[in-house]
Structures are given as C-alpha cells and as structure tokens.
Amino acid sequence: MADPAELLDDVEETSDDEVRQLRLVTELAGAIEDRDGPQIRLRLADEHPADIADAVEQLTWDQQQVICEVCPDVFNGEVLAELVDETRGDIIEALEPQQIADALEDLDSDDMTHVVEELDEETRAAVLAAVSDEDRQALEASLAFEDETAGRLMQREFVAAPSFWNVGNTIDHMRKAGEDLPDLFFEVFIVDETFKPIGSVPVSALMRSHRDVMLKDLMVASKAIIRPEDDQEDAAYLFEKYHLISAPVVDADGRIAGMLTLDDIVDVIQEENKEDLLALAGVNEAGQADTVWSSVRARAPWLFVNLGTAVLASAVIALFEGAIAQLVALAVLMPIVASMGGNAGTQSLTVAVRALASRDLTASNSMRVVWRELAAGTVNGLIFAAVMGVVAGVWFTDWQLGGVIAISMVITLASAGLSGILIPLGLRKMGADPAVASSVFVTTVTDVVGFFVFLGLAAIVLL
C-alpha cells in the first residue's frame, strides 16, 4: 500500500482557492502563536466571512481559543453563521453572552435563528437575555417553530405591496423604508387588503418598467404559499419544482409573515442530500464529526444492528452444517450468492430512495416501478446465473453444483430487486425515513434468501 502522505499531497489539484486558503491558515497560525490580536484582525480584514470560517475550522481548538481571548470581535455574526455547528458550538462556549449578542445584531432574523438554535439551553438563555428586545421577540417567535420547518428557516424581513400600487409608488416606498428592508430581496410580494399574498413581482421587472405601470400588470400569481409548520424539505421541493427564488410564508390567518429565499433552500437541499447519503451507508446524525469518538458514536449503532442481522444469516447457514461438512465447495461459493444479492438490493434501494426524495416515485407510478424492479432483478439474475453456473461448473467440475448456484442466483437477485423497492416504500408508509435502516433490512433479506436457497437446494439436489 502506498504511503498515505503521498496519496494526499495533491488531493485538490484544482484550485488557487485551496492555495490561498492554505496560506491564510498558515499566516493565521503564525499570528496566533504570537498571540498578536491586531495582526490576526489585519490578516482577516479583507477576507470573506466564508473564508474566515473555513480557516478557523482548520485550526486546532487551542488555536481557536487564542482568537477568542485576544480578538473575539473576529467572530462577528456573519463568521459565526458560516461556521459548522460543532466549531460554532465550541467558540460560542468560549465567548461572553454579550459578545455573542453584539455579533448577532447585524444578521437577518433567519441567520440569527440559525446561530442560536444550536446552543444549549443555558447559553441560549444567556444570549437571549443580552440581545435587544426586538431581536429577542423575533428569535423567540422563530424558535417556537419545530426544527427543520419553514418557520425556523424563514426571515421576518420582506417587502410587500398592495396590487393597486404602481411601480413609482413602490420604488418611492422602498427608498423611504431604506434600512428597514431586508439586506437582499428578489421579489416584492403583492398582498390583498387583508395582507394575504396573491402574487409577486420580481425586482428586475420593477426595474425595467415605467413608473406608471401597475403592479397587478407585472404580477405573477403565487405558485407556492408556505406555512411555517411545513417541513423544510417540502418547501425545498416547491422551490425546485417551480424554480422559485423566494416565496412568502403565511400565518394561521393566511397573512404574510415572512419569506424563504433560494440561498437558504440550497442549504436545506444539501443537508437533506447529505442525510440521505449517510443514512443509506448507516452513519448517524450527519454531524461534521471530526473526532475519533464522534465517528465511533455515529457508526457503532448501525454496525450493531448489522451484527444482529449477520448473526441471523449465520444461523441460516448453521441449519446446513451437515451439507457443508459433506461438500466444502458450498462454503466457498455461498458468499458469492449473498454478495451479488446484497449489491443488487442496494442498487434497487438507492434508486428507490432517490426517486422518493425527488418525488419521481409517487402513488400513480409505484406499481409500475415495483414490477420494473422485480423484472430487472430477474433479468440480471438470469444473466449472472448463466455466468456463475459456468464458472462454478468449471471450477469444481460439477455441473449439478453449477445448476444449483444458477437457480439460487435468479431467486436471490429477483428478491433483491423486490425488497429493494418494497422495503423503502413500506418504511415510508409507516412514516419512517426510507433512507434510514433500509439498507440493513434489504441486505438481511438478500443474505437470508441467498444462503437459504443455495444451501437448501444443494442439500436436496446434491446430497
């Protein structure tokens, strides 16, 4: 095996970005070594908050602590918002509540919530006590919604106008409102007299229209009106489907209460994709777990479940100890059947989980997909039955054995296709996340079926 260090030295071929980042980390480490606050501040002055956060994440905890001591103001709101949850947690622990409250002040309400929601009870209470009354009310209102809902994600700053205004009224109003408007917005939401959103006008359309054009003539009807209790994943689906750039969130009476914007939705999409990917591989809690201990904790639970199912599969093998003792070739060949079944099952499962997540798999086409998976599994079974039948026949010069493994391959791959689709659909029906736990169930089915059919058939036919 090659020397790890050698494999790694150019993991990132691409990028100036990487070189620039490496230089920043190195120079920062130097200034930290000297505990030179002004130098650290100077070095970071022109960097983007995202770059600062990336650099801080590359430092050791001791180095991060030095920054907290000699120049805590480096951790302004934007930098805190950019940090991964674990690092942010550590740093916030090391700062005073007042420092955190000051840092939060320049953030929009959604970013403020994002920083505060991950804090433990005690720190959260201290920070809430230190922020302005207005910010506290906004934060408490956001935190009242469940995690991963639209209410948590939305920002309370938005721009709305009645449909009877014209472009001139709207621009004049915005110029007057100035500072009270959100930092960035892409659409003006059009509301009726009860403040219910009925459509939107892209800011670019306002921009190129004459002052006397009526908003109602520029308006596009709202495709998506989101409620604060909606799952963020459902909101993301609507953004993707209708190519939205922002969307209104309404309160219980249907009045506009906030907005979601596409840049926040991108984070949701990435988070959900990551959760699915890691769940399929049996890694818990999607954390940016960076320590040995957190890695073990994230993985041991599913390894434990896997151990249980592996023992179950072994118990099936134990039923046929006698057959194996008579014909050791069975022990040599049986892992092939199980391995092919496990792989085919994982393929079906992954396609199904992906299709469920993207809502390509729906009530109206699911029967068709079940049949397709069964058929595809069977066809692949027939292909590999032929190949493996010949391989086993030649290897052990026993064509009956070749026949047994061929038949087992067809049955195992067909059941792999079927369980790969039915198990995630079943989990979904029971209200569980189809990505979590599916893998284990599917490979249990394929292992048990594979071992049982192969060894059972062999015991009947060969012995």
Give min distance, CB of 126 to a second copy, in A: 29
Of 99, 276, 411, 452, the one binding a second copy by CB under 8 A? 276
Q: Could you give the CA distance from residue 224 to residue 238 in angstroms, rounded to a whole number?
A: 7
> Which helix (H) or strand (E) element contains residue 171?
helix 167-177
Return the SS3 of 248: strand
DSSP per-residue codes, 250-312 = E-TTS-EEEEEEHHHHHHHHHHHHHHHHHHHTT--TT----SHHHHHHHHHHHHHHHHHHHHH
Judged by CB under 8 A, the stretch of 36-44, 125-133, 189-197, 274-282 that binds a second copy is 274-282
Of 92, 116, 265, 436, the one binding a second copy by CB under 8 A? 265
Contact 416, 302 (CB under 8 A): no
Say how many CA atoms lie within 13 Å of 67 toward its Cβ: 28
Give min distance, CB of 291 to a second copy, in A: 7
Of 191, 333, 437, 442, the one binding a second copy by CB under 8 A? 333
Instruction: Please choose, from the candidates 167, 236, 224, the residue with its C-alpha nearest in 3D space to the C-alpha of residue 199.
Output: 224
Of the two residues 58 and 123, which places its CB atom closer to a second copy in the complex? Answer: 58
Instruction: Please choose, from the candidates 206, 240, 208, 207, the residue with its C-alpha nearest in 3D space to the C-alpha of residue 223.
Output: 240
Residue list 56-115, contact with a second copy (CB under 8 A) = 58
Say how many CA atoms lie within 13 Å of 140 toward its Cβ: 10
Q: Is 390 one of the binding residues for a second copy (CB under 8 A)?
A: no
Of the two residues 135 and 373, which places its CB atom closer to a second copy in the complex? Answer: 373
With 0-12 / 13-18 / 19 or more C-beta atoms within 10 angstroms meaning exposed / middle / buried, residue 17 is exposed
Of the two residues 145 and 237, which places its CB atom closer to a second copy in the complex? Answer: 237
Q: Could you give the CA distance from residue 284 to residue 270 in angstroms, rounded to a whole number?
A: 16
Instruction: Please choose, from the candidates 385, 448, 369, the residue with its C-alpha nearest in 3D space to the C-alpha of residue 416.
Output: 448
Q: Could you give the CA distance from residue 85 to residue 103 in angstroms, rounded to a whole number?
A: 16
Q: Is 290 one of the binding residues for a second copy (CB under 8 A)?
A: yes
Q: Is the dihedral of CA 303, 305, 306, 307 positive or negative?
A: positive
Of the two residues 118 and 130, which places its CB atom closer to a second copy in the complex? Answer: 118
Give min distance, CB of 92 to a second copy, in A: 20
Give min distance, CB of 34 to a second copy, in A: 21
Of 16, 134, 178, 253, the one binding a second copy by CB under 8 A? 178
Give min distance, CB of 429 to a second copy, in A: 6
Q: Is 432 one of the binding residues for a second copy (CB under 8 A)?
A: no
The long-range contacts involving 382-386, CB below 8 angstroms and separated by at least 24 positions, are 382/410, 384/340, 384/409, 384/413, 385/409, 385/410
Of the two residues 52 and 127, which places its CB atom closer to a second copy in the complex? Answer: 52
Contact 248, 259 (CB under 8 A): yes
Q: Is 457 one of the binding residues for a second copy (CB under 8 A)?
A: no
Of 33, 288, 390, 399, the one binding a second copy by CB under 8 A? 288
Give min distance, CB of 35 to a second copy, in A: 22
Of 21, 39, 65, 123, the one binding a second copy by CB under 8 A? 21
Give min distance, CB of 133 to a second copy, in A: 25
Q: Which residues contact 278 (CB under 8 A, 6 or more apart)?
A: 284, 286
* Phi and psi, residue 220, nearest 5°: -105, 130
Give min distance, CB of 379 to a second copy, in A: 5
Separation in Å, CA 316 to CA 139, 413, 455, 462: 56, 18, 9, 18
Q: Is 208 one of the binding residues for a second copy (CB under 8 A)?
A: yes
Q: Is 243 one of the binding residues for a second copy (CB under 8 A)?
A: yes
Give min distance, CB of 24 to a second copy, in A: 10
The number of residues that bind a second copy (CB under 8 A) is 139
Q: Is 145 one of the binding residues for a second copy (CB under 8 A)?
A: no
Judged by CB under 8 A, the stretch of 34-42, 98-106, 190-198, 205-213 that binds a second copy is 205-213
Of 340, 385, 442, 458, the one binding a second copy by CB under 8 A? 340
Q: Could you give the CA distance from residue 357 to residue 379 in angstroms, rounded to a whole number?
A: 26
Of the two residues 108 and 135, which places its CB atom closer to a second copy in the complex? Answer: 108
Q: Is 32 one of the binding residues for a second copy (CB under 8 A)?
A: no
Of 30, 42, 48, 399, the one binding a second copy by CB under 8 A? 48
Give min distance, CB of 160 to a second copy, in A: 14
Judged by CB under 8 A, the stretch of 93-101, 191-199, 248-256, 301-309 that binds a second copy is 301-309
Of the two residues 99 and 109, which places its CB atom closer to a second copy in the complex? Answer: 109
Q: Is 376 one of the binding residues for a second copy (CB under 8 A)?
A: yes
Of the two residues 72 and 417, which places its CB atom closer to a second copy in the complex? Answer: 417
Q: Tokens in use for 284?
A: 């818990």
Separation in Å, CA 447 to CA 116, 148, 313, 337, 342: 46, 36, 6, 8, 7
Q: Is 209 one of the binding residues for a second copy (CB under 8 A)?
A: yes
